[in-house]
A and B are shown apart, each in its own frame.
Chain A
């Protein structure tokens, strides 16, 4: 497959703008469609590798991807332009929806609908966790770590600042022993 990276900052900006503008229901599929299928900025394998790295890094995955790809093509200016392109329209959308919502928030039916949408989004989290968990849950050590994080952070409401370093240390120890 022929790959043609963006030729200038304007192309980079409009590309990421197109991703942000259309990404109803999740950014990742639109990032793939825009960058791999439509504009052919990078190959499928390259895309998967980059997203894999960004899923590992802390912070918003797709935001990190805009930084990494922008840097690869145009250095610091590229990172800034890609990030701004990605966030500009979604930021306006979400603020407009937020203002609209506040206008109507006193209406009980509106509140019920929005809360229902929120619970549905929470269900997506549970679905995502099940999907990711299926691959690793056969290992008892993984199951213990999953349960430990869920119980301490979710039910116990312990700060992640306490849980994460501890869990990461245990996880790396287990991984080095081949238990994960």
Chain B
């Protein structure tokens, strides 16, 4: 039953997505492309692109994956599955977090998570632009984009547009 499979897979991703969706991107790609075969590697980066270009939280890539795997029901199930476990956790933790504001354990956890998030987001960027056969042109676009992202004070949408144009010429 593919809807159950979607729900379980994305539900699990939800709980390990520390620091937000970007850090779970490598795992999502591994799961969706390598393990489940819901999309190809090439299609994964394209669905990611659509979710980036559309307004709204980038978590919506899971709706596109769910939709490719099981239609509209798949899109809705995937989105709810990736949000629900984290939402329940947020619901319970919000007050607790406040209460332990000065606890050394809270500070230790925060400090411990930070480098993991950085390493995982870096891995997400790398995995996205490294298809089965590595392509220097994708790396070049990503490197230029990272530079623009860090130095230009413009809406990222402009950089995405420039990247699309670069893709039309290079790819």
Chain A positions near chain B (C-beta within 8 angstroms): 20-27, 53-64, 67-68, 71-72, 79, 83, 86-87, 89-91, 93-95, 97-98, 101, 105, 109, 111-133, 136, 141-143, 145-150, 153-155, 157, 159-161, 164, 167-168, 171-172, 174-176, 180
Q: Please, which residues of chain B bring their CB within 8 A of the CB of A61?
A: 20-21, 57
The binding surface of chain B is classed by DSSP as helix
Q: Please, which residues of chain B bring their CB within 8 A of the CB of A161?
A: 12, 16, 27
Known: A23-B55, A59-B83, A101-B50. Contact between A150 and B27, CB under 8 A? Answer: no
How many residues of B sit at the interface, in one of the four size bands?
35 or more
List 25 A–B pairs whose Cβ atoms lie within 8 Å, in order of A's numbering: A24-B55, A56-B113, A57-B90, A58-B18, A59-B20, A59-B21, A59-B89, A59-B90, A60-B21, A61-B20, A90-B55, A90-B60, A94-B60, A97-B53, A114-B49, A115-B46, A116-B167, A120-B164, A121-B48, A122-B129, A123-B129, A125-B122, A127-B145, A168-B112, A168-B116
Q: Please, which residues of chain B bring their CB within 8 A of the CB of A71?
A: 91, 94
Name which residue of chain A comes closest to B50, CB basis: A97
Q: Please, which residues of chain A bring their CB within 8 A of the CB of B125?
A: 122-126, 129
Q: With the chains together, A175 CA to B159 CA distance in Å? A: 37
Q: With the chains together, A167 CA to B19 CA distance in Å? A: 14
Name which residue of chain B comes closest to A30, CB basis: B55
- Are B129 and A95 within 8 A (Cβ)? no
The binding surface of chain A is classed by DSSP as helix
Question: Which of the residues B47, B90, B138 comes within 8 Å of A119, measured between beta carbons?
Answer: B138
Which of B26, B91, B122, B138 counts the most A-chain CB atoms under 10 A from its CB?
Answer: B122
Cβ contacts B64-95/A at 8 Å (1 or 0 each): 10010000100100010011011101110110
- Are A25 and B97 within 8 A (Cβ)? no
- Are A133 and B14 within 8 A (Cβ)? no
- Are B46 and A22 within 8 A (Cβ)? no
